Structure 1
Amino acid sequence: MHKLTMVIATIFSISVPHSTVGGNNAVPTPIVFTTPTARKPATPHRLIAHGSLRSLAGKWTKDVLHAARKAHISPRLVASVLHVENRGEINESANRVSGAGAIGPMQLMPVTAWDDLRVDPWNPRQNIDGGARYLASLLRRFGGNRRLALIAYNAGPTLVADGGRPTGAVHYANAVLRYAG
């Protein structure tokens, strides 16, 4: 009887009072049925969007935290950029090169990395640090407007400052903001 009660309790998610699992002398008590609270099913991007920083940055989480603190910006924003830049495939991000020539986890353009940020884009830690500092500078340049800063991160700050808003860069910014919250 005890095993059957436990199987039923498990299947139907009910709590079983302890007095029913005692020996023959136990006084049976009624089983208490509990109803789970209704929750709206989450879509996959929502699961990640409300997930942990680790679900966004993977093995680079500590580096993201360090770089974000140093740049005085949100670690979640940096992790979201990293996640979107790598389409969620964080483990292969260290040596990734885009069709446009951007390098590493934060997909830095070589000229920006070497000349402006003074980082080695092939070194993942330096790449993340440089990406966080670059994002911080774009946030300052665009008055704290995260959407414009992200469009500029993707399409280039001069184009955005001149009023350009390429469709791909706008989609990119929206994706990052969806993860960043």
Structure 2
Amino acid sequence: MKIQAGFCGLLLLLIAGAAEANIYAYTDSHGVVHLTNVPAGNSAYHMVMRTPKMPVATARADFNRVAKQQYQSLIHAAASRYGVSPALVNAVISAESGYNAGAVSPKGAIGLMQLIPATAARFGVSNSFSPAENINGGTAYLAHLLRKFSGDLRLAVAAYNAGSGAVIQAGYHIPPFAETQAYVPRVLAYYQRYLDGSSSGPSLGITGHGPTPVSASPQLIQVSSP
């Protein structure tokens, strides 16, 4: 089977523009090759290229807009399940991984919401690279922190980064760590941006019900292969 010139270039563009690490493909009955970095459970796709997992810092600098859209239904479902604003879940994912489900931090935090193994186990996450499990566990953790700190969004976000103990030791203030001091305003800025851009919830992180999930399709590149 011959593939038209330009296939490699398109493949490189898909890799360069995506935060997801792996490339999947299938050939349909008309001989058209379909490529995506977001197979979304479609069993017709099979992996054709594995690239190294993107570092968290790189992921933050280059949001995967396709993945961001693709994960909204999972985000809204988890937000509704645990009574957390979808805007807050999106804000944490934006700051933590830039919507890169394969992100791994130097400290061993994994996935979209950068769960450390202990937190993942605590909230029933067996595979932190699974977007559905990661979002569910991370959102459950956010809901726990919001309850623990009586709905104080700043303290809950600080605890997500530094741990509840650090916030309590700091006298129920943001701990005096440079990373946490920078992290809290970054998440809150994302949060406000998502609130301003949609009707996803009130100005606090706790909400009753999330909005209707946003539907999205995987990013596809079609290449004729006569």
The amino acid that maps onto 1:106 is M
- Relative to 1, partners in 2 of residues 1:154 and 1:56: Cα closer, same or farther, differing over 3 Å? farther
Write 1 or 2 for the structure with the bigger share of strand: 2
- Relative to 1, partners in 2 of residues 1:68 and 1:56: Cα closer, same or farther, differing over 3 Å? farther
Tell me if 1:117 matches 2:103. no
Once superposed, what is the RMSD of the aligned Cα atoms?
Answer: 1.7
Question: Looking at CA atoms only, which structure, 1 or 2, has the larger radius of gyration?
Answer: 1
Q: Percent identity?
A: 41
* 1:22-47, Cα deviation, whole Å (9 max, x unpaired): xxxxxxxxxxxxxxxxxxxxxxxxxx
- Relative to 1, partners in 2 of residues 1:148 and 1:56: Cα closer, same or farther, differing over 3 Å? farther
TM-score (norm 2): 0.52
Q: Which has the higher contact order (CA 8 A, sep 6+)?
A: 2
What runs of 5+ residues in structure 1 fail to find an aligned partner?
A: 1-53
Shift of 1:167: 2.1
- Relative to 1, partners in 2 of residues 1:145 and 1:55: Cα closer, same or farther, differing over 3 Å? farther
Instruction: Provide the C-alpha distance between the structure 2 equivalents of 1:149 and 1:137, rounded to a whole number of angstroms.
Output: 9
What runs of 5+ residues in structure 2 fail to find an aligned partner?
A: 1-64, 193-226
User: 1:56–1:83: 8 Å Cα contact kept in structure 2?
Assistant: no
Residue number in structure 1 paired with 2:155: 148
The amino acid that maps onto 1:173 is V
- Equivalences for residues 12-51 of structure 1 within 5 A: none
User: 1:84–1:175: 8 Å Cα contact kept in structure 2?
Assistant: yes
Shift of 1:74: 0.3
Instruction: Provide the C-alpha distance between the structure 2 equivalents of 1:55 and 1:76, rounded to a whole number of angstroms.
Output: 17
Residue number in structure 2 paired with 1:84: 95
Tell me if 1:177 matches 2:188. yes
Shift of 1:56: 9.6
* 1:92-121, Cα deviation, whole Å (9 max, x unpaired): x2221101110010000011101x101121
Residue number in structure 2 paired with 1:159: 166
The amino acid that maps onto 1:113 is A
Write 1 or 2 for the structure with the bigger share of helix: 1
Shift of 1:55: 8.7
Shift of 1:123: 1.5
Number of matched pairs:
123
- Relative to 1, partners in 2 of residues 1:56 and 1:82: Cα closer, same or farther, differing over 3 Å? farther
The amino acid that maps onto 1:137 is H
**Structure 1 runs of 4+ off > 4 angstroms?**
none
Instruction: Provide the C-alpha distance between the structure 1 equivalents of 2:123 and 2:176, rounded to a whole number of angstroms.
Output: 24
User: 1:151–1:165: 8 Å Cα contact kept in structure 2?
Assistant: no
